[in-house]
């Protein structure tokens, strides 16, 4: 094999380098982040008994930070902070389902939110068993009454029982063109799920905040 030797001027024509700012991330960690979030989606699906595929799993581009102010002591105000991103997911054969990525960034809950006995109400009431590195991050899926387009398709449930409380994404092949229009997510649906989340987070703080006094 013939050895190739390039002169300095030839190297400059072949390759160029751009120095990056030290605070700018140059590596792409999207696949790691998506894998970590997808694990939380599966946990939420199992807990809430809502089924949809993650073949298409994208952000809606709608992101918000919620703040709830409380006092630790009479003259010591603190704030709870929650980051939320609205996502849509579903297989090519499914109508999209909305879910939220959540991060509890600043909280002053004394003790944790895990339920000691009794049925857990939300996904954060369950102690996480895996080594997922997204601490204080959760996925929550708005139910049908909160604006999500879901169906109780008993034939697709685990046992075909009409009393089964599982929910599913609408299947394209099961819908007429008219019903597909009704199963599509609208801007009004998105507004409704955001309102549902806002009320849910306010309720969470109200029920769990304990002032030092």
Q: Which of 28-37, 157-166, 200-209 has the highest mean pLDDT?
A: 200-209
Give the per-residue pLDDT at 187. Answer: 96
Least confident of 40-49, 56-65, 127-136, 150-159: 150-159
In-domain check, residue 52: yes
Over range 109-118, report the average pLDDT. Answer: 71
Q: Answer whether residue 142 is part of any domain.
A: yes
- Say if 3 falls within a structural domain: no
Beta carbons of 168 and 52 less than 8 angstroms apart: yes
Whether 17 is covered by a domain: the verdict is no
Q: Is residue 9 part of a domain?
A: no
176-200, pLDDT tens digit by residue? 888 888 889 999 999 999 999 999 9
Give the tokens for residue 57: 């799993």
pLDDT-derived band at 35, boundaries 50, 70, 90 = confident
Q: Quote the domain boundaries for residue 92.
A: 25-208
pLDDT of residue 106: 86
Q: Is residue 132 part of a domain?
A: yes
Q: Span 122-141, mean pLDDT?
A: 84
Closest CA to 98 of 147, 137, 65: 147
Write out the two tokens for 196: 């549902």
More confident residue, 117 or 149: 149
Listed range (7-16, 29-38, 117-126) with the worst mean pLDDT: 7-16
**DSSP states along 96-134:** -EEEEEEEEEE---SS-S--SSS--SSGGGS---S--S-
Alpha carbons 88 and 94: distance in angstroms, whole number: 11
- Domain annotation covers residue 58: yes
Residue at 8 is within a domain: no
pLDDT > 60? residue 71: yes
Q: What is the pTM of this model?
A: 0.83
**Number of domains observed in the structure of the chain:** 1
Residue 181 neighbours by CB distance under 10 Å: 10
């Amino acid at each position: 094999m013939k050895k190739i030797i390039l002169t300095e001027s030839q190297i400059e024509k072949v390759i160029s380098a751009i120095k990056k700012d030290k605070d700018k991330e140059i590596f792409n960690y999207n696949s790691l982040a998506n894998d970590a979030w997808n694990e939380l989606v599966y946990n939420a699906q199992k807990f809430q008994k809502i089924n949809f595929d993650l073949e298409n799993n994208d952000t809606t581009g709608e992101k918000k930070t919620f703040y709830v102010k409380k006092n630790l002591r009479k003259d010591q105000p603190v704030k709870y902070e929650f980051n939320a991103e609205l996502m849509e997911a579903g297989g090519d054969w499914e109508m999209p389902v909305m879910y939220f990525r959540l991060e509890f960034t600043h909280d002053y809950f004394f003790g944790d939110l895990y339920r000691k006995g009794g049925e857990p109400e939300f996904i954060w009431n369950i102690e996480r068993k895996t080594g997922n590195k997204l601490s204080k991050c959760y996925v929550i899926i708005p139910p049908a009454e909160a604006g999500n387009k879901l169906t109780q398709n008993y034939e697709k449930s685990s046992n075909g029982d009409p009393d089964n409380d599982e929910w599913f994404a609408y299947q394209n092949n099961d819908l007429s063109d008219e019903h597909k229009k009704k199963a599509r997510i609208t801007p009004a649906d998105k507004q409704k799920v955001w309102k549902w989340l806002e009320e849910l987070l306010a309720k969470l703080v109200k029920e769990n905040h304990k002032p030092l006094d």
